[in-house]
Amino acid sequence: MSIYEKYETVVGLECHIQLLTRTKMYSNDAAEYGAMPNTNVSVVSLGHPGTLPRVNKRAIEFAVKLGIATKSTITTENQFARKNYFYADLPKGYQITQDKTPICTGGFISFKMKDGSEKQINLIRIHMEEDAGKSMHDIDPFETLIDLNRAGTPLLEIVTQPDFRGGEEAYAYLNEVRKLVRYLDVCDGNMEEGSLRCDANISVRLKGSKEYGKRTEVKNMNSFRNVQRAIDYEVKRQIDIIEAGGEIAVETRSFDAVNGTTFSLRSKESANDYRYFPEPDLQPVMVTKEYIETVKNNLPPLPNDLYEKYTKELKLNDYDASILTELKEIALYFNELISHTKNYKAAANWVMVNVKSFLNENAVHIDNFPVKPKAIADIIALIDAGKIGHTAASQKLFPALIANPSKSAETLATELDIIQNSNSNEIQALVEQAVNKFPEKITEYRNGKVGLLGLFVGEVMKLSKGKADPKVVNLLVKEQLEKN
Ligand code: MN
């Protein structure tokens, strides 16, 4: 057994998600990304004395949405608190956050791991707060520049229990969080633009031990993959220190993505004292049962519920169900499609293969995809009725529909001249013609060379110029060969 196998990894994650509200958490300054620096800053964002904060209603709604989706308990009386610290990008000298009454407690997020196993991560809390401004150290060679556009933008902080047993679980969890906030339309989930940020608290302990080891906090990981890499590196580093007889320094570390390592930022030995106290300028926000009910009734379908429906009700396999629920827009497209067809497997294939490849190859977002789900259902119906073949449908009809989305599938199929002949009488004549062409092959077939069936079918297809329904042809050729 390697030394690493003696230890168990214990990780908890703190994620900040930036909310897709139009305005900031406590003022009506615009909360947009990418504006000219310091243009979305009124006296409130600048922390001028005497200004008063007001709570953004939409941010409360978003917090409740996420709370319901994670099966959290939602707090009735929500107080805000001041977290005091000094920093150049924090003009007020404090952050308005929640301390003793986070809007959500408990709750969990569950997801599938690559090997198909299910993992559940329990949440300690989700609370509302505001973001600080941004200090930029890499634009001017001598000065640090400050952009206060971000100061006051609404955040939800999701704090998990130390339930992760490795980097891969953290990676899968973050994917699930992103999927969830995108389904809920509360956050764009874009880690590169900083709208989803994550810190990891990492420690190790001997397997079977009940006590936690000393932990480090790792920051500045700007992709899900880097969170996984940072955890895996940090776990190995800690085990190496312990095995060499050393002790883990309780500290904040930063991830170096180039080298895949972590390095010390500052010691945590002296605990921060933020002097939390209730925000005197804000009334507590009351979240009533009726309000929660209203939000619940307007909740969009959630990925896990759709997954359940697709596998249990529609009997799709796990792979299809997870691909179809990966992106909300794809899932909604598929949802509408299956309201027009009962052939769920075919519907899944059309979306996963034809629609998705078109979107990928042409870099088109599904919102701009011209073919309506109903038209895909019409194609499926034409195939199922034997009127067109699958190959002609995907190679000719589908591109034609994309070019002429206002025409019906059937009209286009007629114009393309791909409607199959399934008239048995007409096909029967061609079958006889084809079979009579190879009298010696008939004998061979009857003597057991059944593979010759393909030869006759191919001949009929040729005679029909590819327009005979292959299913009907197969049947009739077999009948013909087995006569007498
Ligand atoms: Mn925070």
Quick: pLDDT tens for 322-363.
Answer: 999 999 999 999 999 999 999 999 999 999 999 999 999 999
pLDDT higher than 80, residue 421: no
Q: Mean pLDDT over residues 5-22, rounded?
A: 97
pLDDT tens sequence across 204-230: 999 999 999 999 999 989 899 999 999
Q: What is the Å distance from ligand 1's center to 194 Cα?
A: 14
Q: Mean pLDDT over residues 56-66, rounded?
A: 98
Coil, strand, or helix at residue 252? strand
Q: Which of 318-332, 370-384, 414-428 has the lowest mean pLDDT?
A: 414-428
pLDDT higher than 90, residue 396: yes
Is 296 a domain residue? Answer: no
pLDDT higher than 80, residue 483: no
Q: Mean pLDDT over residues 142-156, rounded?
A: 96
pLDDT higher than 70, residue 484: no
pLDDT tens sequence across 269-310: 666 789 999 999 999 999 999 999 999 999 999 999 999 999
**Kind of pairing between the strands at 216-219 and 251-256:** parallel
Distance CA(43)–CA(49), nearest Å, equals 9
pLDDT at position 482 = 82
Specify the CATH number for the domain of residue 468: 1.10.10.410
Q: What is the Å distance from ligand 1's center to 136 Cα?
A: 20
476: nearest Cα among 437, 438, 430: 430
Q: What is the Å distance from ligand 1's center to 14 Cα?
A: 8
Q: What is the Å distance from ligand 1's center to 471 Cα?
A: 63
The conformational region for residue 49 under phi > 0 = left, psi -120 to 50 = alpha, else beta, is: beta
Residues 324 and 227 in one domain: no
pLDDT at position 467 = 82
Q: What is the Å distance from ligand 1's center to 16 Cα?
A: 7
Are 198 and 156 a contacting pair, CB within 8 Å?
no
Q: What is the Å distance from ligand 1's center to 227 Cα?
A: 18
Q: What is the Å distance from ligand 1's center to 98 Cα?
A: 9
Residues 475 and 360 in one domain: no
Q: What is the Å distance from ligand 1's center to 362 Cα?
A: 40
pLDDT at position 271 = 65
Q: What is the Å distance from ligand 1's center to 83 Cα?
A: 10
pLDDT at position 177 = 97
Q: What is the Å distance from ligand 1's center to 131 Cα?
A: 8
Q: What is the Å distance from ligand 1's center to 153 Cα?
A: 12
Q: What is the Å distance from ligand 1's center to 430 Cα?
A: 76
Are 383 and 346 a contacting pair, CB within 8 Å?
yes
Residue 179: is it exposed, middle or buried by C-beta count within 10 angstroms (0-12/13-18/19+)? buried
Q: What is the Å distance from ligand 1's center to 329 Cα?
A: 30
Are 24 and 56 a contacting pair, CB within 8 Å?
yes
Is 477 a domain residue? Answer: yes
**How many residues are recorded in the chain?**
484
| HEC profile of 429-448 | HHHHHHHHHCHHHHHHHHCC
Q: What is the Å distance from ligand 1's center to 157 Cα?
A: 6
Q: What is the Å distance from ligand 1's center to 212 Cα?
A: 23
Q: Mean pLDDT, the chain, as a whole number?
A: 93
Residues 406 and 429 in one domain: no
pLDDT at position 471 = 83
Residues 47 and 26 in one domain: yes
Q: Which of 381, 415, 449 is the last residue of a domain?
A: 415
Domain count, the chain: 3
The letter for the amino acid at 433 is Q
Distance CA(163)–CA(108), nearest Å, equals 11
Q: Mean pLDDT over residues 418-426, rounded?
A: 79
Coil, strand, or helix at residue 474? helix
Residues 105 and 188 in one domain: yes
pLDDT at position 200 = 98
Q: 398 or 438: which carries more pLDDT confidence?
A: 398
Residues 198 and 283 in one domain: yes
Q: What is the Å distance from ligand 1's center to 93 Cα?
A: 15
Residues 68 and 188 in one domain: yes
pLDDT higher than 70, residue 454: yes
Q: What is the Å distance from ligand 1's center to 356 Cα?
A: 38
Residues 117 and 185 in one domain: yes
Q: How confident is the model at residue 375 (pLDDT cuts 50, 70, 90)?
A: very high
pLDDT higher than 90, residue 94: yes
Question: Residue 329, CB half-sphere, CA atoms under 13 Å: how many?
Answer: 10
pLDDT higher than 90, residue 82: yes
Residues 285 and 326 in one domain: no
pLDDT tens sequence across 18-36: 999 999 999 999 998 889 9
Q: Mean pLDDT over residues 59-69, rounded?
A: 98
Q: What is the Å distance from ligand 1's center to 224 Cα?
A: 19
pLDDT at position 417 = 87
Residues 127 and 10 in one domain: yes
Q: What is the Å distance from ligand 1's center to 187 Cα?
A: 16
Q: What is the pTM of this model?
A: 0.84
Q: What is the Å distance from ligand 1's center to 285 Cα?
A: 19
Which range of residues forms the domain containing residue 355?
301-415
Is 295 a domain residue? Answer: no
Residues 41 and 108 in one domain: yes
The letter for the amino acid at 193 is E
pLDDT at position 269 = 64
Q: What is the Å distance from ligand 1's center to 195 Cα?
A: 13
The letter for the amino acid at 177 is V
Give 390's contacts (C-beta < 8 A, 6+ positions apart): 383
pLDDT at position 473 = 87
Residues 395 and 285 in one domain: no
Residue % of the chain over a pLDDT of 90: 78
Q: What is the Å distance from ligand 1's center to 129 Cα?
A: 7
Q: What is the Å distance from ligand 1's center to 214 Cα?
A: 22
Q: What is the Å distance from ligand 1's center to 158 Cα?
A: 9
Q: What is the Å distance from ligand 1's center to 40 Cα?
A: 22
pLDDT at position 323 = 93
